[in-house]
Amino acid sequence: MCARLSGWWDASCSPGGAPPSAIAMTAMIGHDWKFAREALGRLALEITESALLGSLEPRPISGCYDDELPRVRRAILRARNGKLARFRNQVNRNAFALGCGAYADGKREEHLLIGYGFRHGKTTKIESLHHATGGAGSVRLPDAMAHTMWDYYGQHQDNELLIFHNHPYSPLSFLRNHLPLASRQDRRFVEARALHPQQFLRRLLGQGRILFYLGENGYVKEFNLPSVVAMLDR
């Protein structure tokens, strides 16, 4: 592939080492602009869809028992190298989600935190957690962690999984107070993991669920709707 950096032309890209003609340069610029325009269009569509779906989802979590937050942070720090960190005393769902958000806030890489618990009235009691660290744009669910998750979830009908990850940067990060915007890939994950018949039936029966949370811009918010655009594209 020809390299064009800072206005310099790689002579190996042109026969005889001659610079490209004005017509060729115009064609390349036009192609780049078309690609950029299409990319911006896709990005705008994704942001718009995420904002619309987000307005139908629960509001950001606003509070919890303050004494639980330090325990969540200590457990996250203990959960290194794939180790399962257990809570001596269970923590509630809001405290777990907000504790994960506080830990990941300001980090330059994505973090994935899995809470293992059980449904208890209107909340979830979290017993343990897993922690995986990714890169600036994504985080991978390790195979061993995935096996533990689905094994735990299937052990009892009241067992619940809380899946949290953060967005260290988004195209809207320059705006203040924007709420978390789940990406299309995030919503595909929701569709694949939580919206198939077994999970849907458990939710209808008031049993254990799989809940997804996103931390971004200082907020933590649940997202539970799939991408309509992604489904239409298929």
**228: Cα separation from own chain's centroid:** 17
Three-class SS string for 74-134? Answer: HHHHHCCCCCCEEEEEEEEHHHHHHHHHHHHCCCCCCEEEEEEEEEECCEEEEEEEEEEEC
With b meaning 16 or more CB within 10 Å and e meaning fewer, what string describes 156-174? eebbbbbbbbbbbebebee
- Which residues of the chain fall below pLDDT 50? 1-15, 29-30, 33, 36
pLDDT in tens, 26-60: 555 445 545 545 655 677 788 888 889 999 999 99
Q: What is the mean pLDDT of the chain?
A: 83
Domain ranges of the chain: 8-56, 66-233
Whole-number Å distance between alpha carbons of 234 and 231: 5
Measure the CA angle with vertex 92, ends 149 and 143; round to 5°.
15
pLDDT on residue 231: 77
pLDDT on residue 15: 47
Residue spans of beta strands (DSSP E) within the chain: 4-5, 8-9, 85-92, 111-120, 123-133, 159-166, 210-216, 219-222
Is 0.75 surpassed by the pTM of this model?
yes
Overall residue count recorded for the chain in this entry: 234
